Amino acid sequence: MDERKRRLVIAIDGPVGAGKSTAARRLAQALGYIYVDSGAMYRAMGWKARQAGLDLHDRGRLVALAAATDIRVVAAAEGPRVLMDGKDVTAALRTPEMDEASSVVSTFPEIRRRLVALQRAMAKEGGIVMDGRDIGTVVFPDADLKFYLDADLTVRAARRFQDLRQTGTPIDLDAVRVEVARRDERDRGRETSPLTVAADAIRIDSTARDADGVLRVMLEAVQHVLKPDKS
Ligand code: DC
């Protein structure tokens, strides 16, 4: 196949507030690829568990619920939508309560296995950018390109604070900082598929780099993969 027409699988991992979703969305847009926010799938699972009134630590009932759940991320003009059993739940997922619920349900290996299978199914045709915590390490260990995006905790907490403010959530910066640090610790410390840097990932620090700067680094790496002889 003509290398330039190859449709890549691109993985972006990193902690809360590193700028993954902005980078992934813009990179997908620039390349004409689909963008899948895998965190939204864990959020949808947390939301369903809450709606069902489940204790988030009740592993048996959570796993049964996950087995009977279909979660898809589909492209739409206003950005990707999360369909859970066919219902659009996107608007309910970006709340502090779902930050916490998704981080807890994502610690269970059975839930991860179910969602990883759905994530792999979405990448069959290539032409996809997926962001999350284990995309380059577990979901697509053979991805064509892997990025690991990070930034200082203070900057990441400030970004998360802005996101929450924009959705009208009353919250203070110190509380957000504590919540981000706690979620980092859980995501990095869990036994199954913890957040780590894949050995072959390109690391990008977004502390002092804006979204355009991050996108530039990513697009250069894409060009390098598509035209390796022109490096
Ligand atoms: O990216 P996010 O903040 O929307 O993700 C919410 C939670 O989901 C995060 O705290 C950990 C979990 N998650 C995960 O375990 N693996 C992924 N690939 C994506 C998210």
> 43-77: per-residue pLDDT in tens?
999 999 999 999 999 999 999 999 999 998 888 87
The pLDDT > 70 percentage for the chain reads 97
pLDDT in tens, 76-101: 878 889 999 999 999 999 888 999 99
Residue type, 91: A
Torsional sign, CA 109, 113, 115, 120: positive
Is the pLDDT assigned to residue 35 strictly greater than 90? yes
> How far does residue 212's CA lie from ligand 1's centre (Å)?
24
- C-alpha dist (Å) from residue 129 to 14, 34, 111: 14, 6, 22
Q: For Cα atoms 27, 32, 35, give the angle at the middle one, nearest 5 degrees.
A: 55
119 CA closest ligand 1 atom index: 18
**Which residues form ligand 1's pocket by a CB distance below 6 Å?**
16, 38-40, 42-43, 102-103, 106, 132-135, 183, 187
Total domains in the chain come to 1
Q: What is the CATH number of the domain that holds 110?
A: 3.40.50.300
Q: Of 16, 103, 129, which is best to mutate to test ligand 1, by the most ligand atoms within 8 angstroms of its C-beta?
A: 103
Token pair 């680094």 is found at 217
* Residue 98, domain member (yes or no): yes
pLDDT band of residue 5 (cuts 50, 70, 90) is confident
Residue 230 lies in a domain: no
Q: For residue 135, tell me if it sits in a domain.
A: yes
Is position 229 within any domain?
no
* Packing angle, helices 173-189 and 153-166, rounded to 10: 120
32, part of any domain: yes
Whose alpha carbon is nearest atom 9 of ligand 1?
103
Domain that holds residue 91: 8-222
Please give the pLDDT value at position 158: 96
pLDDT for the residue 75 = 81
